[in-house]
């Protein structure tokens, strides 16, 4: 596929042609666990990677490979490998490259599961973890310069939607000989391409925007071929393999990725502006709003500001308890990136694993509500929030 092919066209066509069979226009779901060979030498060549092919489903699968190829093209990467979940992609990537005595630098605002790896699991393996304030680029650069094996960034962050300057920090990582890894789940390949900004590896929880329909779990990592080969080897032995049916659903979902993301970005911007007018709202977190502290960085490195936002309400948890059940056009669930608008507090979604004290240390109020904007008509979403706010105002007098 040509380098100048637009993202929307890649989302529909990339990575599929060689997997089509018998004149089909869609990649088939291949459920076979094993692949047979009559020629023993050919079997051996495939088994050791000398020749293209498949031998066992834990290693590779044609449907899964089509999914990996599509993501590879969308991120303009040399290679990609997939996983059973987004957290499997993160944990396997870190496990591939970190050994006892290593040092990883990251930010305080990562997704709750990632944060638990940093604060609980890696220290058990005698791996030093340094977590810096998100947005304090000088501090991050200083810590990286002290010695760093991996610089791990998540931008925008979950759930407070903070932004890190990928290009600037990737330069610091390179200077220190560190591997630069970026979780690009919130932005999607439509809005941001970290590899073009200097990152070595890009991670997605494919469960979210890539799949887009909240019906399949998966994760993917893409980047340089030599790095992906190492991650793939770790995954094929440890077994966090993507299911072929999930890969098919991801492929189908990605055909509309550019259209969905375009509408979700539009809805998020309009909803953020609306929320900023409400007296009950104490703060709105969305990088598209000019008052966002990282707005200029987002403008520089993102094509649009994404479909995710969050806001804090007066009255904290009590207000959240009354507000969310009144919304008619929003799922109250621990997911994001789907075609339906989804809402939830960090205490039951992104950072349910953390204590209130840990969330407070990360700057996450208990009254924070994360909103994943869907593709609905924004007028209906705003009207829905308006009636819910009116109910809360009369019920709680806030």
Which residues are marked as active site? 58, 111, 183, 208
Whole-angstrom Cα distance, residue 153 to residue 207?
19
From the number of C-beta atoms within 10 Å of its C-beta (0-12, 13-18, 19+), residue 319 rates as: buried
Place of tokens 């996983």: 83
The four Cα atoms 216, 219, 220, 221 give a dihedral, to 10 degrees, of: 170
Whole-angstrom Cα distance, residue 112 to residue 124?
18
CA distances from 304 to 104, 201, 286, 338 (A): 30, 21, 11, 18
CA distances from 210 to 2, 11, 154, 293, 339 (A): 22, 10, 17, 28, 11
Q: Which are the contacts of 213, defined by CB distance < 8 A and separation ≥ 6?
A: 249, 253, 338, 339
Whole-angstrom Cα distance, residue 181 to residue 104?
11
Partners of residue 223 on adjacent β-strands: 79, 201
CA distances from 218 to 157, 158, 198, 221, 237 (A): 19, 18, 25, 11, 18
């Amino acid at each position: 596929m040509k380098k100048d092919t637009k993202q929307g066209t890649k989302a529909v066509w990339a990575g599929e042609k060689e997997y089509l069979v018998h004149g089909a226009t869609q990649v088939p779901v291949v459920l076979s666990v094993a692949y047979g060979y009559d020629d023993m030498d050919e079997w051996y060549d495939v088994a050791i990677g000398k020749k293209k092919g498949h031998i066992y489903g834990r290693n590779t699968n044609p449907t899964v490979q089509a999914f990996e190829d599509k993501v590879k093209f969308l991120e303009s990467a040399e290679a990609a490998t997939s996983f059973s979940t987004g957290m499997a992609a993160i944990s396997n990537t870190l496990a591939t490259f970190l050994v006892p005595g290593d040092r990883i630098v990251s930010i305080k605002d990562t997704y709750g599961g990632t944060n638990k790896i940093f604060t609980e699991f890696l220290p058990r393996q005698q791996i030093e973890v340094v977590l810096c304030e998100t947005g304090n680029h000088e501090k991050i650069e200083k810590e990286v310069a002290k010695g760093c094996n991996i610089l791990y960034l998540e931008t925008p962050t979950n759930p407070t939607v903070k932004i890190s300057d990928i290009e600037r920090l990737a330069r610091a990582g390179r200077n220190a000989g560190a591997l630069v890894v970026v979780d690009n789940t919130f932005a999607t390949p439509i809005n941001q391409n970290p590899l073009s900004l200097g990152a070595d590896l890009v991670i997605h929880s494919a469960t979210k925007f890539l799949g887009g329909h909240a019906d399949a779990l998966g994760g993917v990592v893409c980047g340089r071929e030599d790095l992906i080969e190492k991650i793939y080897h770790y995954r094929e032995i440890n077994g966090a393999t993507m299911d072929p049916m999930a890969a098919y659903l991801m492929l189908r979902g990605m055909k509309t990725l550019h259209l969905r993301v375009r509408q979700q970005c539009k809805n998020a911007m309009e909803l953020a502006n609306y929320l900023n007018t409400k007296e009950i709202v104490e703060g709105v977190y969305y990088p598209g709003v000019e008052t966002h502290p990282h707005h200029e960085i987002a403008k520089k490195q993102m094509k649009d500001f994404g479909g995710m936002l969050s806001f804090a309400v007066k009255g904290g948890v009590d207000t959240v308890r009354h507000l969310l059940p009144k919304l008619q056009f929003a799922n109250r669930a621990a997911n994001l990136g789907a075609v339906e608008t989804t809402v939830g507090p960090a205490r039951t979604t992104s950072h349910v694993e953390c204590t209130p004290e840990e969330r407070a240390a990360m700057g996450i109020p208990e009254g924070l509500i994360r909103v994943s904007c869907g593709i609905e008509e924004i007028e209906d979403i705003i009207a829905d929030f308006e009636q819910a706010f009116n109910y809360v105002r009369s019920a709680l007098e806030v």
